Amino acid sequence: MNDRPTATNITLHKKKDKLCPDRIWIISKGRYTNFDLSRIWEGVKKQTAMVYNISELARYLLNPNPLQIKKKLVGCEIHYRTPLYNVKENIRKLLPQKLRGLLKDNQIPVEVLKSDWDTDNSPGKDDNFESHLNKITELLRPYNPIIKSLNKIDPSKVFDVVGICEDIGGHLSNLNIPGSIMDKLNYIRANISKDVGVILEKAYIADGLFEMKGFNFKSFDKNKSFRLIRFLINGISKACVLDSDNKVEFWIDDIKLVQYMLLFDQLIEIDPKLNSSLSLCTAGKAEPLKLLFSKPLEIDYSEAHLPEVYKGVFEKLNIGASKKNVVKRVLNKSQVGISFNYVPMSVYDKRRLFVNFSVMHNFKALEPIKNDLPLVYSEINKIASVTEAGKFYLLDSFRGYKDDK
């Protein structure tokens, strides 16, 4: 059997799909289906596989292909050539391999040029005003301190120019600019303080972290879905997404991503605050930024406030202080944090990063209190929901502006 899959078409057994939820959704519950895998993985015949429906948003989050997002170009790094670089490089070529490292270069510190000019146009202003503001910005461009600094640079002394970009949340990243040194310097001059296209390898940018700006929430169609299939090859779980023609669109290298999708959908269903935040994005009233899954968390509920869900249960069951402390201790285990960052669009306020943070708790963590506090255990069991990712319930949820105290 080949180590790599072969592409193509699979025919699924016909079965009426469950209607899509009346909300933004991510992934359906999986169902077992028998079909011929030989068309997508050589040497494997018909076997049982798990099939899911996924939404446009899930397809975006799972897709391993590059995407482009917009970030503001706020500056650049100027990397200078070391003195006598060409001469030393020619000498190195004449030396034996083991001696070339003896000829060291005198490093010149990287020069960082960063603009403090704020050219952010708050959303909601009319087109005439925005056009007028853009004209003024262009007239003032020659006076931008970065452009004035770039005009003093001798291109022959520069080894590389790297752009510095910033998103609305204040996160900085580097931008590789193609072309000659003059091309790169001209690019910075022409685009400083403007939004530029930045290419990301994929939406999943780091452990548990997804870039959300590349997805068009306003065009989200809850009735549109795609197929995701999951199966075993020699005991190893494999997964892929199919296109509308039931052809393999892409493979999912890390099965953990499917678990993230299940958790995300589970949370959307039980957290009204997150639902409200996502609805703002689909309505065009907010700009999404990042989605982060994090565990373990550092929320110590033995010291912090008691979550509302437990306040209600304790009051209903008249639980004493000593037993409350027993419960608090188990709350600190098996937490999963999911944060969704976005920027509300307001005519009046400057755009600020808004954070929706939810804490999901694995119901298994309550096993130690099952015998001593069966009524508490039973009450929480009523609100816990089960998916392949596990049995979880919403422990806590809060949101607010990042810089609020």
- pLDDT recorded at residue 83: 64
Per residue, the 3-state secondary structure of 159-174, as one string, reads EEEEEEEECCCCCEEE
Q: Where are the alpha helices (DSSP H) in 223-320?
A: 256-270, 272-282, 308-317
Of 120, 110, 112, the closest CA to residue 170 belongs to 120
- pLDDT recorded at residue 403: 65
Q: Two tokens at 112?
A: 């960082």
Task: Tell me the mean pLDDT per 10 residues along the chain, length 405.
Answer: 36 42 87 81 80 96 95 94 63 63 66 74 54 65 82 92 89 92 95 92 95 95 93 88 85 95 95 94 93 82 81 91 88 92 75 90 95 94 93 93 67
Give, in order, the Cα–Cα distances in Å from 354 to each of 171, 206, 339, 344.
14, 21, 10, 7
pTM of the model: 0.81
Give me the residue label for tokens 């023609």: 245
Of 364, 358, 296, 368, the closest CA to residue 327 belongs to 368
- Say how far apart CA 176 and CA 153 lie, in whole Å: 19
Q: Two tokens at 329?
A: 């201790």
Give, in order, the Cα–Cα distances in Å from 185 to each of 70, 82, 93, 115, 196.
20, 19, 31, 15, 15
Residue 366 burial by CB count (10 A; 0-12/13-18/19+): exposed, middle or buried? buried
- Say how far apart CA 274 and CA 276 lie, in whole Å: 5
- Say how far apart CA 378 and CA 292 lie, in whole Å: 31
- Cβ atoms within 10 Å of 286's Cβ, excluding its own: 21
Strand, coil or helix: 196 = strand
